[in-house]
Structure formats: C-alpha cells, structure tokens
Amino acid sequence: MTVTSRTVEIRENVFMPRLGFGVYKIPADETTTLVRTAIELGYRGIDTASLYGNERGVGQAVRDCGLPREELFVTTKLWNTEHGYDAALRAFDTSRRELGLDYVDLYLVHWPQPRLDRYVETWRALEKILADGGARAIGVSNFQAPHLERLLAETDIPPAVNQVELHPWLQQAALRDFHQRHGIVTEAWRPLGGGPELFAEEVVRTVAQKHGRTPAQVVLRWHLEMGHVVIPKSAHSERIAENAAILDFELDSQDIAGFATLERGQRLGPHPDET
C-alpha cells in the first residue's frame, strides 16, 4: 500500500502534513527546544492547544527555526471555556498573540460540549476567523457524527478536519466513513494508544519484526495506510526521530488485516458526550 504524498489537501490549496508533532503535556519551558528538534528531524506539522499552556514555546520555535513560515503547519484549539461567538473570537486572538504568529494553519474547536450546546455559534466565529485570514483552515476535534451533522446543516463551511481519539484499539470505522462521505480529513490523537501495552500486542510485534521496524513505527505507519493524519508525542529526541521514520516502508494487506483484529472499541480518553 502506498501513501503517495506527505501532505493531504484539507481545503483548496491548504496542504496539511500527514505526520505532525503533538505537544500535549510538554512543559512550557521545554516546548521551544523540543519543537525545534522535531522540525530539525523533519516534522512540519505541530499540534498545540490553548489548554496545553505551551503555545508561546511553539510560536517561538516556528519563528526561530530558520524555515519559511509557509513550510510549517501550526494547529491550535479553542478550549471548552471559550465556546460562544464573542468568546471564541477573543480566544483566537489570545492564541494568536501567545503564538506570536500572523495566522495559524488550522484552528479547531477542541470538544463539542453538547451539554453547553454552543458549538454551532462557536463554529460561526471560526468561519469569521477563516474569512478574516486568521486561520487558513478550520476544523473540529472530538465531534461525533450528530455534532458534525448539525454543523453541516446549520452553517456555511464544513469542517476541514476532525481530530479524534483513534488507535488500533479504537478504529472509529463509522466516524471515518462519515468523514469520507463529507470530505472531512480524519486526524488521530493518542495515535500510539499511549504506548507500551499496545506495543506488546502480538499483531504489532509480528508486523514490526517482519518489517524490521519498531512497534511505534508500524502503528504510525498503519495510520498513514488508513489515510489518517497522525500527531505522535514524545519528549525524547530519539523517539521523536523514531516516530518520524515511517515514510520509507509500507504495510501490506495482510498487515492491515492483522491490525483490524485489534479493534476493541476501547477509549483511553474521555467520551465526547461527557467531557
């Protein structure tokens, strides 16, 4: 199976790297160094959020790394306390100021917060941010099909991306199918399923051995074969490098069939309806 491009077009002329560096739980004072390391190792996408408290470090790395801004792809997200039209516009201004960037490449609504029931109004603010050039693309995270359906029915611009919990134990077949039907790109968070326990699965070990790769690499490669954008996180440079070395081999249909058997419908993070 071949992933032909390092990027996916998420909106006309907006190309998102299929591999990005996630910075959840990376301490603010280590963020600049680690993001610079990731960029040196070939990552071009960076995934942060106002919740993570490290947008400033991300922005500094992006500004100082020596690459033209347009070669990097920065995602940030609006937090749960920032829903509502005016609040969302203010939240975006704060994120952009923290990042110290003129624009972000992708701005996401972090969680739908269905009990609050303001995500449609919040989305209209993101449409305004897009129209004003503050973000090159807009999307959502942790949205379930009914939440997406409401956005599609009640607003003008469909989300370019839905970033959801997705790993071999939670393969999200129905949601991925919904995305495909509506032209929404699937982005996987917790792509490594948190690490060691998934890496010990017989299927993962066998596929890794067969290709002479590490378990982390074959899991990440599985995501690429499935068409997902992936954003693995690590605070160690050797693992950051390991996770990036996934573009020079392929899984075959037998490997993919093996991964299919790992589905357990198991969430490791919160349920979107309950957050």
Name, in order, each residue with C-beta under 8 angstroms of 214's C-beta and a sequence gap of 6 or more.
199, 208, 242
Q: For residue 45, give both structure tokens.
A: 């996408």
Task: Identify which of residues 51 and 157 has a Cβ nearer to ligand NAD in the complex.
Answer: 51
Q: Tell whether 110 is in a known binding site.
A: yes
- From the list 185, 163, 174, 35, the residue with the least C-alpha distance to 110 is 163
Contact residues toward ligand NAD (CB under 6 A) are 22-24, 47, 110, 141-142, 163, 189-195, 216, 231-234, 239, 242-243, 269
Smallest distance from ligand NAD to CB 273, Å: 14
Task: Sort strands 185-189 and 229-230 into parallel, antiparallel or unpaired.
Answer: parallel
Smallest distance from ligand NAD to CB 241, Å: 9
Smallest distance from ligand NAD to CB 50, Å: 12
Smallest distance from ligand NAD to CB 103, Å: 19
CA–CA distance, 85 with 90 (Å, rounded to integer): 9
Task: Identify which of residues 66 and 160 has a Cβ nearer to ligand NAD in the complex.
Answer: 160
Task: Identify which of residues 96 and 233 has a Cβ nearer to ligand NAD in the complex.
Answer: 233
- Per the CB < 8 A criterion, the answer to whether 245 and 268 are in contact is no
Which residues are registered as beta bridge partners of 104?
A: 135
Task: Identify which of residues 132 and 197 has a Cβ nearer to ligand NAD in the complex.
Answer: 197
Smallest distance from ligand NAD to CB 206, Å: 17
Which residues are registered as beta bridge partners of 137?
A: 106
- Determine whether 107 is an active site residue: no
- From the list 147, 140, 159, the residue with the least C-alpha distance to 11 is 159
Task: Identify which of residues 22 and 258 has a Cβ nearer to ligand NAD in the complex.
Answer: 22
Smallest distance from ligand NAD to CB 161, Å: 11
- Catalytic pick among 24, 43, 52, 107: 52
Task: Identify which of residues 13 and 234 has a Cβ nearer to ligand NAD in the complex.
Answer: 234
The annotation places the binding site at 110
Give the residue numbers annotated as catalytic, written as ranges: 52
Residues belonging to the binding site for substrate are 110
